[in-house]
Amino acid sequence: MTTVAFGPHADVNDAFASERARQLEAVERRQADLKTRLDAGTLIPLGDGRYRVNDPGSWDNGEIWIQQDSGLVVPQHGLDMSTGRAALYTAKPAWHQLGTVIEGGTTDIDTVLKAGAIDFAVETFPVLFRTPDGQLHELDDQRVTVRRDTDAGLGVVGNRYEVVQNRDIFGFLQALVGRDDVIWETAGALRGGRRVFVTMRLPDTIVIDPAGIADVVAPFLAAFNSHDGLTGYESVVTPWRVLCGNTERFAARDAVARWSTPHVGDPLARLRQAEQTLRMTRRYYASFAAEQELLLATELAIDEYLAVVADVWAPPGDDDADKAKAKYRRFADGMVHRFEQNADKLGRNAYAAERAITEFMDWGRGVRAPKSMTETAWRASQALEGDQDGRKNTAHKRLLTLVRR
């Protein structure tokens, strides 16, 4: 099991959906602003009517937008459309207004499989090749995965590869939580069916300060399965309800725990380890809620907050150059601004401070990708590897020491 730091969250799903709805409603206005954004460098043209968002701090940073025939530029959802409809089932409408919605969700697996357009089986077949003399040969150590409803090839895998069928994911999650009456939140497919996701809501919803700010942390259990051989089977506990390509990435990035297994042997027989991961995660959430309540009740002055920031990001010393000192002052001013924004809603307390620090680590900081990777790929890689976990833990522990003043 790998656990990662989990900063305070409002209901990220509602926030994301609201942002997406505003974007779609304002699409004509955004098109009028296209030249301004291109000139400012917050939208990078990629050719063929595609643009990459270069706007740290927004939901969209790193995402790809596409220009439609109408001339409008809209976000891409990334859902599988190979059967002529969006491969998505959801218990509440998604930001992109696609897929099949069953209000309140359903417990019936067959209904979800059909509604999410993932009621297809995957089989492996020999990999054949033809030599210049016209002879047909079989590649002994590899197979090709094929979805049988469309007979589309999904990927080339090793001969020890074991398919995890889409239906198997539901049974695995039911066994994991020990219930067969779970409400399925979402299910669907990306990239032509090469990657499939299923989300269910855990009964461990946390509300920080119910009588006040009512900040909701609603954990979901999401499962991801690939049919192209690039990744294995993975289950994560996350605050994100998976509804599209980018929320799938967010779900993996913000997971508080994850369990995975390769497609060899009997992948779904390794249930005991996954059960242990889930039990540990539930204990984590109970401890997390208690600590957040303590932070919320701890008033914090700006000087105290800046001292925590300095513990996380060491300021320049007396002998350092004036340029470095000026740069840190600008950084500190920006961190104060983030704190003030959170304090307007949450109060001037340690909880608002942690929100501000976590937001900066997730959205505000710049990154420098190696030459072999795009900035988007590098950000995704670093997030999945928990590159900021140490600093998040340092900030959290430091803020908890202020509770005991």
- Over residues 184-232, the pLDDT tens digits come to 888 999 888 998 988 888 766 667 776 677 776 667 788 888 999 888 8
Give the confidence band of 321 by pLDDT, cuts at 50, 70, 90: confident
Per-residue model confidence (pLDDT) at position 364: 61
**Better pLDDT: 69 or 157:** 157
Phi-psi region of 316 (alpha: psi -120 to 50; beta: other; left: phi over 0): beta
Per-residue model confidence (pLDDT) at position 61: 64
User: Does residue 386 carry a pLDDT above 50?
Assistant: no
- Over residues 346-370, the pLDDT tens digits come to 899 999 998 898 888 766 655 444 4
> Is the separation of the CB atoms in 313 and 331 below 8 Å?
yes
Tokens of 67: 């220009």
Per-residue model confidence (pLDDT) at position 380: 40
Q: Cα(260)–Cα(267) distance, rounded to whole angstroms?
A: 9
Query: Rounded mean pLDDT of the chain?
Result: 76
Strands (E) in 148-265, as ranges, are 152-158, 184-190, 195-201, 206-208, 215-217, 220-226, 233-238, 257-261
- Over residues 123-178, the pLDDT tens digits come to 999 999 899 998 898 888 899 999 999 999 999 999 889 998 999 888 888 877 77
User: Does residue 381 carry a pLDDT above 70?
Assistant: no
Task: Please state the rounded mean pLDDT for residues 63-76.
Answer: 51
Closest among 98, 110, 31, 39 to 66, alpha carbons compared = 31
User: Does residue 333 carry a pLDDT above 50?
Assistant: yes
Give the whole-number percent of the chain exceeding pLDDT 90.
23
- Provide the terminal-to-terminal Cα distance of the chain, rounded to the nearest Å: 35
Q: What is the length of the chain? A: 405
Among 46-55, 172-181, 206-215, 240-249, the least confident range: 240-249
Closest among 247, 208, 192 to 20, alpha carbons compared = 247
Q: Cα(171)–Cα(71) distance, rounded to whole angstroms?
A: 44
